[in-house]
Amino acid sequence: MTTFQQAPAGSAASGTDAALELNSIVKSFGTTLAVDGISWTVRRGDFVGLLGPNGAGKTTLISIIAGLVKNDSGQARVLTIDTSKEPNRVKGVLGIVPQDLAVYPELSARDNLQFFGAMYGLRGRELKSRIDDALRRVGLDDRAARPAVGKFSGGQKRRLNIAAALLHRPQILILDEPTVGIDPQSRNYIFDTLRELNRGGMTIVYVTHYMEEVEALCRTVAIVDHGRIIEEGPLDDILARHGTSLVRLTLRPEELRSAVALLEQHPEVTHRITGDGVLQISSRALQDAVALVTRILADIAPNPESCQILPPSLETVFIELTGNQLRDA
């Protein structure tokens, strides 16, 4: 089995302990500010979720890390290598699994991997053994020779994409939304593959807008919105910091006014009206929020348009921080 560089657990994320170090990265496309001054450090050996809604700037950020997109300002280092100065050295230590599938449909899985391996200068028996290892890791060893990958399911193609990213044995693997639109079996296979790689010491950055995937896989999370990291740290710390229960009530205008007047008398429970007009009530103690909501439902709005109770989770953290649910999630 291949082993990857093992990181010291719990080490400080600076200098040589850092797998990725981003400093004030800015990138615009015309008038769109896609990345708005992101500074971020990923520790070696970590399993990090980069979480944010569609259009938050996640793909742009990882494209800058990979040297595929040039940032307007700021500095990105991968294992201390400056991405703008030595992009080829960065390619040697970084594996990228892009959102768009980049496989040749008329070729077999093995022939696709031969092609990708050759791009990294791999040949002969060494390449064959790496292809065998990569196919086994993603559970495609029984589909190496046929059918042509054009006949693969979406999930199998994505697993092949992961295999391609592993051939040069990168120390860091970045995956951009690897489970969008795939079957649950492939999703579970991808999860198991990534856990095994991380156990072997590989640093993994998992880009997604699925909060439950971050909760299932990652130790650390960075939440991105509008081109900025709005919260980051170990998942448990974030939940402890922001771990409030939330109640979301959609009310008619008159009811909303009366409910807000009531809530203003109860500072122990916080409330806000979100951009889409939903009354959001949060409290570290669920019973405080529920007691007030019960009064609102009894005295003010017996038939609310909607009433939702959310226990503490990354979702409630996101809503608390942005006032929005993860759009299109």
Ligand X SMILES: Nc1ncnc2c1ncn2[C@@H]1O[C@H](COP(=O)(O)OP(=O)(O)OP(=O)(O)O)[C@@H](O)[C@H]1O
Q: How far apart are CA 163 and CA 132, in angstroms?
A: 10
Residue 156 region by backbone torsions, left for phi larger than 0, else alpha for psi between -120 and 50, else beta: alpha
Using CB under 6 A as the binding rule, whether residue 32 contacts ligand X is answered as yes
Closest C-alpha among 322, 302, 320, 300 to residue 312: 320
Question: Segment 204-263, which members bind ligand X (CB under 6 A)?
Answer: 209
Question: Segment 102-131, which members bind ligand X (CB under 6 A)?
Answer: none
Q: Is 99 helix (H, G, I), strand (E, B) or coil?
A: coil
Using CB under 6 A as the binding rule, whether residue 87 contacts ligand X is answered as no
Q: How far apart are CA 75 and CA 39, in angstroms?
A: 9
Which residue, 29 or 115, has its beta carbon nearer to ligand X?
A: 29
Q: Residue 113 Cβ, how far from ligand X at the closest point, in Å?
A: 26
Which listed residue (7, 48, 56, 66) binds ligand X by CB under 6 A? 56
77 C-beta neighbours (distance < 10 Å), count: 21
Closest C-alpha among 6, 50, 64 to residue 199: 6
Closest C-alpha among 208, 160, 190 to residue 59: 208
Q: Residue 29 Cβ, how far from ligand X at the closest point, in Å?
A: 3
Q: Residue 198 Cβ, how far from ligand X at the closest point, in Å?
A: 22
Which listed residue (41, 59, 220, 322) binds ligand X by CB under 6 A? 59
Using CB under 6 A as the binding rule, whether residue 60 contacts ligand X is answered as yes
Q: How many residues bind ligand X (CB under 6 A)?
A: 12
33 C-beta neighbours (distance < 10 Å), count: 16
Q: Residue 36 Cβ, how far from ligand X at the closest point, in Å?
A: 10
Q: Which stretch binds ligand X (CB under 6 A): 26-34, 87-95, 162-170, 191-199?
A: 26-34
Q: Which residues bind ligand X (CB under 6 A)?
A: 29, 32, 34, 52, 54-60, 209
